Amino acid sequence: MRAGTALTIKGVLVKVFITGGTGHSGSYIVPELIAAGHEVTGLARSDSAAAALSALGAKVRRGDLQDLDALEEAAADSDGVIHVAHRQDLLPSGGMNAVAAAELPIMLAYGEALAGTGKPLVAAGSIGSSGQLGRPATEQDPALPVGKEHRGTLRVRNVVETAVTDLAEQGVRSSVVRIANIAHGTTDRVGFLPTLIALAKTQGFAGYPGEGTNQWNAVHIRDVAPLFRLALENGPAGSYWHAVSEEGIAFREIAEAIGGRLGLPAVSVPLDELMTPGYFGFLANIVTQSYPASNAITRQKLGWEPRQPRLFADLDNGHYFPAS
Ligand SMILES: NC(=O)c1ccc[n+]([C@@H]2O[C@H](COP(=O)([O-])OP(=O)(O)OC[C@H]3O[C@@H](n4cnc5c(N)ncnc54)[C@H](OP(=O)(O)O)[C@@H]3O)[C@@H](O)[C@H]2O)c1
What string of pLDDT tens digits covers the 324 residues of the chain? 344 455 555 566 689 999 999 999 999 999 999 999 999 999 999 999 999 999 999 999 999 999 999 999 999 999 999 999 999 999 888 877 888 889 999 999 999 999 999 999 999 999 877 666 778 999 998 876 654 444 444 467 788 999 999 999 999 999 999 999 999 999 998 899 999 999 999 999 999 999 999 999 999 999 999 999 999 999 999 999 999 999 999 999 999 999 999 999 999 998 888 877 767 766 777 888 888 999 999 999 999 999 999 999 999 999 999 887
Q: Give the ligand 1 atom nearest the CA of 19.
A: 34
3-state SS, residue 225: helix
In a domain, 143, yes or no: yes
Cα 102 to ligand 1 centroid, rounded to whole Å: 13
Helix (H, G, I), strand (E, B), or coil: what is residue 230? helix
In a domain, 287, yes or no: no
Distance between CA 42 and CA 31 in Å, rounded? 11
178 forms bridges with which residues in the sheet? 125, 242
- What's the pLDDT score for residue 9? 52
Distance from the Cα of residue 43 to its chain's centroid: 18
Q: Tell me which residue range forms the domain holding 232.
A: 11-185+219-245+297-312
Cα–Cα distance between 225 and 34 in angstroms, integer?
11
| Residue 147 counted as domain residue | yes
CA 229 to chain CA centroid, Å, is 14
Nearest to 314 by CA among 211, 218, 201: 218
User: 263 CA to middle of ligand 1, Å?
Assistant: 32
Angstrom distance (rounded) from CA 225 to CA 297: 17
Q: Please give the tally of structural domains in the chain.
A: 1
Which atom of ligand 1 is nearest the CA belonging to 189? Answer: 19
136, 292 Cβ separation under 8 angstroms? yes
Question: Quick one: pLDDT at residue 5?
Answer: 53
pLDDT, residue 130, reads 65
DSSP secondary structure letters along 285-322: TTTT----B--HHHHHHH-----SPPHHHHHHTSTTS-
Quote the CA–CA distance of 310 and 242 in Å, as a whole number.
16
Neighbouring C-beta atoms of residue 60, cutoff 10 Å: 17
Contacts with 134 (C-beta within 8 Å, 6 or more apart), sequence order: none
Q: At what angle do helices 103-114 and 91-101 cross, to 10 degrees?
A: 30
Supply φ then ψ for residue 179, to 5 degrees: -90, 140
Whether residue 251 lies inside any domain: the answer is: no
Question: Can you point out the beta strands (E) in 149-229?
Answer: 173-179, 182-184, 206-209, 215-220
18 in a structural domain: yes
To the nearest 5 percent, what fractions of the chain are helix, strand and coil?
40, 20, 40
In the structure, which protein residues have their CB atom closer than 6 angstroms to any atom of ligand 1?
Answer: 19-20, 22-26, 43, 45-46, 49, 64-66, 84-88, 124, 126, 179, 183, 191
Distance between Cα 25 and ligand 1 center (Å): 8
The CA distance from 45 to 64, in Å, is 5
Q: Are 289 and 133 in contact (CB under 8 A)?
A: no
Angle, helices 26-35/47-56, rounded to nearest 10 degrees: 40
CA 24 – ligand 1 centroid, Å? 7
Is residue 101 one of the residues assigned to a domain? yes
Task: Compute the distance from residue 20 Cα to the ligand 1 centre, in Å.
Answer: 5
Residue whose CB lies within 8 A of the most ligand 1 atoms, among 19, 30, 46, 84, for a mutation test: 84
Q: How far apart are CA 32 and CA 229, in angstroms?
A: 7
Check which CATH number belongs to the domain holding 137 and give it.
3.40.50.720
Q: Which atom of ligand 1 is closest in space to residue 26's alpha carbon?
A: 16
Cα separation, 262 vs 242, whole angstroms: 31
| pLDDT at site 133 | 72
